[in-house]
Structure 1
Amino acid sequence: MDIVTLTQQFEQLTEYWSPRVVAECNGQLVKVAKVKGEMVAHDHENEDEMFLVVKGRLHLEMADREVVLNPMDVFVVPKGVRHRPHCEEETWIVLFEPRSTAHTGTAQSEHTKTLAEQYGHHAD
C-alpha cells in the first residue's frame, strides 16, 4: 500500500476530462481528473457515479435539474441517469466508481478514455 497525495496527482494531469486511476478499494476505482468546458451527455446503465469536487465548481446537468458542486461537495448520479458535466473554470474532481464503469457510458466523444488509458497505459 502506498500513500496517494491527491494534490500531486492533480498537478501531474495535463489533459482535461482524462481521469487517472489513483487507488482501488473493494472493486471500486478512485480517479482524479481536471475538467474544464463540457463533457458529452451520457449515462451509466448499471453503475452509480460519485463526484467529489476538490477545487473549482462543477455543474451536472440532468433531465429534471442541474446541480452545482463547490469544493468539498459530493453528489452521486444514480445509475441510468443521463448527465452532462460542465464547468467554466478549471475544476479538480475525484470520482468513485466500479471498475466496470465506462468513462462516457455508451456515448463517445473526443474525451472518451479506455480503462487502460485511465491507468496511464496507452490503448492497444
Structure 2
Amino acid sequence: MKKYIFGFLVSGTFFFSGCYYDVESELYPKDPNQTCDTLNIGYQARIEPIVKNNCVTCHSGSGASGNVSLDSYQGVKDATISRNLYGAISHTSSKPMPQDGNKLPDCDIIAIKKWIDSGHPQ
C-alpha cells in the first residue's frame, strides 16, 4: 500500500511540475501587428508611467535604493546622465534593473532611449 501512495505522489509531482511555464515569450507571444510608438516621447506621457510601474517601489524618497531616486522628472533625468539608467534597464550594465526581475519590454526600453537621445523632453 505504501508503494502505491509513494508512486502516486511521485507521478503527481511530475505531472504538475510539467504544467508550469515561466518563459514570458511563450506565455505572451509578440503581436506582429503591434508597433512601438516612438514619436513625440515626453516624460509625463510616456516615461513617467514606465518608471512608476517598474522603478519607484525601490527608487523613491530619501531612502531610495542605491541613492537613486526616480520619483521625479529631475531624478530620472539625472539617473540617465550620471547613473547609466539606460544600461541598467537594457541589462548591459553590471547592475541590471529591475534587480532580480525580468527586463522591461523592448518597446519601453526603446522609448526611454529615444527620450534620452531627444534631450529629456517634459
- Answer yes or no: same fold by TM over 0.5: no
TM range (shorter): under 0.3
Higher RCO structure (Cα 8 Å, ≥6 apart): 1
Q: Tell me the TM-score normalised to structure 2 length.
A: 0.25
Larger radius of gyration: 2
Between Structure 1 and Structure 2, the one with more strand by share is 1
